Structure 1
């Protein structure tokens, strides 16, 4: 199963926000991009699935805040809002709905790898458990409800930045797979959540021995679930 450089993966998912205007993807589309029900995804010629994040306020209503319900005139959490899949895993309802659109689009032809950012990273974590392919997630929210690791988390790596508020959302949920936390050196609150910022951080951390150059780290050598790197 082919590896990919983290820097290349970051560039590809960044480009997925601007299909038709980005040279690196223009001639690499394996099929028409998905753009349905406010869900976007791109499959390129080497079997890589790219899932961009939120690009419209509707994404927040449908997906990012999809776990919340109106009750007594205000938002409240409800256990009934969790979406359970066939494996028994409990997922954030909005993120699961987003992932399902992508799953149904590809049908019975899964990708060879998945790369996602933000909302797309939440979907990527869910789909990695379905398809069991190497998955890279940038600026990842937390889609899984439950403290116990899932069986196939070894396929997935999340790259996050300290201080990015999105990576702690929702608070009672958890990431799927390994989490590598990049130190940005910034003080105080600063969102710095977009892919161009994460690409710069990867360059700054290029010499960090705890940050692999490729994912997976080696053929047949996927990291264990829940592993972390500073």
Structure 2
């Protein structure tokens, strides 16, 4: 059983992670998160926000183009760049889970930062590349979380119990959620449809907010996670 303090509104989580993007603009506007921010990480193209409520927010990329052209290609750890490649895997965390190497390295930057600051998240929310990190950190920290526009992060494992704490919310028209093709998501996956735009992949966080609203109104998605 999950503690009620670890249960969160899905629609609110979507609004928070969208607001997290604004905090990293050169001249950040005022956001609904301002009074809640405890600390921010902005290092080596890895961004995260830790709230006073011990909620970790991980923004990623707000477009398919940015994701495909830049996200993993600009991540440079120890002089090595990581690409969206099905052959690059690594092990980290309990039970030697096999992770996509680029996603794992991204998540580890956040994990190391939290360890250094002695932050312990009670809930994790991420989008896009941040959704990849969310799946990994939910597993390693054994806390619930929501991954919006979640790519696939692991391969060749039977998902252990903590994986069930992660909800991957994906749009059917978002191709990022199918990558890398030989990997799988970690946790429960809910694939839904929102209002479609002609010849466009709807990867942006605001489009995921619309999808959450549509799915909840249709009775296909609950209001909270864990349910």
After TM superposition, the score normalised by the length of structure 2 is: 0.84
Q: Does the alignment pair 1:27 with 2:27?
A: no
Structure 2: how far apart are the matches of 1:147 and 1:210? 28
2:45 match = 38
Q: Does the alignment pair 1:84 with 2:96?
A: no
Structure 1: how far apart are the matches of 2:71 and 2:215? 31
Does 101-110 or 171-180 show the bigger shift? Answer: 101-110
**Aligned equivalent of 2:21, options 2, 9, 17:** 17
Question: Within 5 Å, which residues of 2 pair with 1:108-127?
Answer: 108-127=118-137
Question: Within 5 Å, which residues of 2 pair with 1:19-168?
Answer: 19=23, 20-31=28-39, 33-54=40-61, 58-63=70-75, 66-67=82-83, 77-78=86-87, 81-86=88-93, 87-107=95-115, 108-146=118-156, 148-168=158-178
Unaligned runs of 5+ in 1: 70-76, 218-230
Provide the secondary structure at the position in 2 that maps to 1:116.
strand
* Closer, same or farther: CA 189–53 of 1 in aligned 2, 3 Å: same
Does 54-63 or 161-170 show the bigger shift? Answer: 54-63
Structure 1: how far apart are the matches of 2:74 and 2:160? 26
Q: Which has the higher helix share?
A: 2
Q: Is the 8 A contact 2:150 2:170 kept in 1?
A: yes
1:213 match = 223
2:78 match = none
Q: Is the 8 A contact 1:50 1:115 kept in 2?
A: yes
The Cα of 1:12 is off from its aligned counterpart by 0.2
Q: Does the alignment pair 1:171 with 2:178?
A: no
Unaligned runs of 5+ in 2: 76-80
The Cα of 1:207 is off from its aligned counterpart by 2.3
Does 49-58 or 120-129 show the bigger shift? Answer: 49-58
**Over the residues paired in the alignment, what is the CA RMSD in angstroms?**
2.0
* Closer, same or farther: CA 25–150 of 1 in aligned 2, 3 Å: same
* Closer, same or farther: CA 38–53 of 1 in aligned 2, 3 Å: same
Q: Is the 8 A contact 1:67 1:92 kept in 2?
A: no
Provide the secondary structure at the position in 2 that maps to 1:49.
strand
**Aligned equivalent of 2:203, options 193, 196, 206:** 193
Structure 2: how far apart are the matches of 1:153 and 1:26? 31
The Cα of 1:185 is off from its aligned counterpart by 5.5
The Cα of 1:187 is off from its aligned counterpart by 7.7
